[in-house]
Amino acid sequence: MTAGSVRQMRLEDVAKEAGVSRATASRVMSGSGPVSAAVRDRVREAARRLDYRPDPVARALVSGSGFRLVVAVVGTTAQVLEDPYVDRAVAAAAQAGAPYGVGASLQWLPRQAPRLDRLAEDRSVRGVVLLNTTEAALEAVPMSLRGRVASIGIGSRWVPSFDVDNGGGAAAVLRHLYATGRRRIAMVTGPQWMPCAWRSVESYQGLMRSAGLPARLVAGDFSAGTGHRAMRRVLRRWPDTDAVFAINDATALGALAALREEGRKVPDDVAVAGFDDIPFAALSAPALTTASHPVSRIVGAAATAVLNQAPGPPNVVFPSTLIRRQSA
């Protein structure tokens, strides 16, 4: 249909077309440096006419800026990369980067030795988005990476953080459980080492304490499998449990399955609530009560901040609201 254009236009062509030097054309196109209004219009018009689009590779070379955004996921094993949450994050980064001509890479960061210096030295790397961030990972951020890292989770003096309001969301869910008469509320947490899961646990502990109720904590690891096992453990240790708050929906769905197997009615015998509002939370039986978690927006914001080198506020918190369904 369209004739394949013979050759991509270069800045030189635009400059010639507009009757100016390459430097001036560059100033116009990159929007930096002084140019007279008349010349600017002339160059822009020429660029439009020739359908000129600057070569991002050449730009990257001269500016030394790199061209890919690495999503680095802290985890005990490379298995973390199989979490649907990671998929969502990467897709969001890939989408946010597209207009900038920047792609997303996915990489595992061993929890025991989260080395970021290789990434910092890699000239193809434009910036890094940290997932499941730990203190150790934050400390491993080398100087040369400062200003082009963002963390989904905890941040530091040098690393801006973007996260959902874990504490607020958890509190909303727990208040709902309490308001509907639940008093023997257990919680299935995430892995101990993951700071982003602490707030929820603190919320739980805070509310239980202020209500004068004993805490019933069991550790999980964000997976449905451990949600299932953790639920069985809860029932064994505290058979009279009448509600469970799971650190995320996957865990909650696992718990739901365990309760079903045990013949406990949800929500009549035991109420179940999760966190995240993943697509299938609405489809479980009963449909899962949970708290919203705008992962795409969060990661998109983090990616955009890195790409723009925007200083911005050091901690951006996205609200989480209660999603009432049938399970609680």
Binding footprint of DNA, residue count (CB under 7 A):
31
Q: Which of 2, 4, 6, 34 binds DNA (CB under 7 A)?
A: 34
Residues 37-96 that bind DNA (CB under 7 A): 38-40, 52, 54-55, 58-59, 61-64
State how far the alpha carbon of 198 is from the alpha carbons of 189, 229, 283, 317, in Å: 8, 21, 28, 15
Q: Which of residues 258-297 bind its own copies (CB under 8 A)?
A: 260, 279-280, 282-285, 287
- Contact pick of 21, 30, 45, 98 for its own copies (by CB under 8 A): 98
Compute how many residues bind its own copies; rule: CB under 8 A: 58
Using CA atoms, how far residue 163 sits from 130, 206, 287, in Å, is 11, 21, 25
Strand partners, 149: 128
4 touches which of DNA, its own copies, none (CB within 5 to 8 A by kind)?
its own copies
CB distance 162 to 222 below 8 Å: no
Q: What is the DSSP string of 106-161?
A: EEEEESSS---HHHHH-TTEEEEEEES--HHHHHT--GGGTTSEEEES---SSS-E
Q: Considering only 18-26, 274-282, 284-292, 297-305, which stretch makes contact with DNA by CB under 7 A? A: 18-26
Q: Write the CB contacts of 253 (distance below 8 Å, at least 6 apart in sequence).
A: 224, 227, 274, 280, 281, 284, 288
Residue 250 corresponds to which amino acid? A
Residue 189 DSSP SS3: strand
The entry of its own copies, DNA, none that residue 101 binds, CB within 5 to 8 Å by partner kind: its own copies
Binding flag, residue 222, its own copies (CB under 8 A): no
Judged by beta carbon, residue 99 or residue 311, the one nearer its own copies is 99
C-beta separation of 164 from 318 below 8 A: yes
Find the part of the chain contacting its own copies (CB under 8 A) among 62-70, 186-194, 211-219, 301-309.
Answer: 62-70
- Site map (CB under 8 A) of its own copies, residues 123-162, x = contact: xx-----------------xxx------------------
87 binds its own copies (CB under 8 A): yes
257 counts as binding its own copies under rule CB under 8 A: yes
Backbone angles phi and psi of 221, in degrees to 5? -145, 30
Residue 181's identity, in one-letter code, is G
Phi/psi for 317 (5° steps) reads -115, 125
**161 token code pair:** 């953080």
Q: Does 27 bind DNA (CB under 7 A)?
A: yes
Q: Tell which one of 2, 4, 6, 32 touches DNA (CB under 7 A).
A: 32
In the complex with DNA, the residue whose CB is nearer, 11 or 250, is 11
Separation between Cα atoms, residue 322 and residue 288, nearest integer Å: 11
Distance CA 107, CA 89 (A): 12
Note whether 22 binds DNA by CB under 7 A. yes
Binding site residues, DNA, CB under 7 A: 8, 10-12, 19-24, 26-27, 29-30, 32-36, 38-40, 52, 54-55, 58-59, 61-64
Binding site residues, its own copies, CB under 8 A: 2, 4-5, 8, 53, 55-58, 60-61, 64, 66-71, 81, 84, 86-88, 90-91, 94-95, 97-98, 101-107, 117, 121-124, 142-144, 224, 250, 253-254, 256-257, 260, 279-280, 282-285, 287
